[in-house]
Amino acid sequence: MKNALKSLYPAAEVLNSGFLSTNSVHRVYWESCGNPNGKPVVFVHGGPGGGTSAQTRQFFNPDQYHIIQFDQRGCGQSTPHANLENNTTWDLIADMEAIRELLNIEQWQVFGGSWGSTLALAYAEKHPERVSELVLRGIFLLRQQELQWFYQEGASRIFPDAWQAYLQHIPEDERHDLMSAYQKRLLSDNEQVRLAAAERWSVWEGSTCHLYPDLKHIEDTADPEFALAFARIENHYFMNRGFFTHENQLLDEIDCIRHIPTVIIQGRYDVVCPMQTAYDLKAVFPEAELIVVPDAGHSAFEPAIASELVKATDRFAIE
């Protein structure tokens, strides 16, 4: 008999929120909810450019956790919208530290999936003393092979129908480098050109996130405001290889976080961030616990993945 799945918690009401002023044009939205005296956890959203929501608070027991969320530069409620200026991995890590200090938090659990796992690892390796645990899902290390898989070849063989709209938006003579072709359009001075490219980029990812396609999610990813920030910021980070110094930086710097209790949750049929990447992380980080979910794709909200994430946060809440 299968173990019963754990349900998400009700979305806690926001207790406090504000905008962090940075040393550039950006104002970063943050919020806190749950138990102000509970265990601090920071939710690191995906994309980059995805933003947070009430739903993303639901992985944590609001009676036990002090839940902090923030919208990374240029997306969600942060301003200016879809702005790429001073928008790098290291700027986001500095924002996380500024929020932690603003809220007088000494140490927090860091929870992130997809790009959120990338940023969570980068933050932990930069500030290991500030991380009590890591809960990671759908591992993405921003290596060339991962980008090629999803944006140039590989994933198209599993979702050839969804791929067509993404591919056919680009003329044949530019299809040898689709990320560069999209960058040109996402940075265009013409608003309609930017929006059309953003919609194709965003819907491609939205169409591949679930084991069983979620039509509502696909529709949401086509929303022009969401798609523009999501596509522009993702493309910006991916074209700049995450602003890392070298290809395997996150793997090469694992030594400094070996002591941090870590759970990795990975859908077996994740097409966006295939399991090979989680396997590569586990190979250099054997101290981490890898949980492979046999009946799931990429989304954190697929029932079996959500259940494992809640089990992890429940366990860490009392440790």
CA-to-CA separations, 247 to 84, 144, 198, in angstroms, rounded:
22, 7, 26
| 57 close to 43: Cβ distance less than 8 angstroms | yes
Phi, psi of 10 (to 5 degrees): -60, 145
Q: Given 26, 202, 298, 307, which residue is catalytic?
A: 298
Residue type, 171: P
Cis peptide before 48 (omega within 30 of 0): yes
Assess whether 114 carries a catalytic annotation. yes
Q: Given 95, 270, 299, 307, which residue is catalytic?
A: 270
Task: Write down the residue that tokens 């956890």 correspond to.
Answer: 41
Q: E strands along 8-107, which residues?
A: 14-21, 27-34, 39-44, 65-70
Q: Given 32, 71, 91, 114, which residue is catalytic?
A: 114
d(CA 161, CA 208): 11
CA torsion through residues 292, 294, 299, 303, sign: negative
| 228 close to 81: Cβ distance less than 8 angstroms | yes
Assess whether 63 carries a catalytic annotation. no
Assess whether 270 carries a catalytic annotation. yes
- Non-local CB neighbours of 214 within 8 Å, separated by 6+ positions: 299
Residue type, 74: G
Phi, psi of 281 (to 5 degrees): -65, -45
Residue type, 244: F
Active site residues: 114, 270, 298
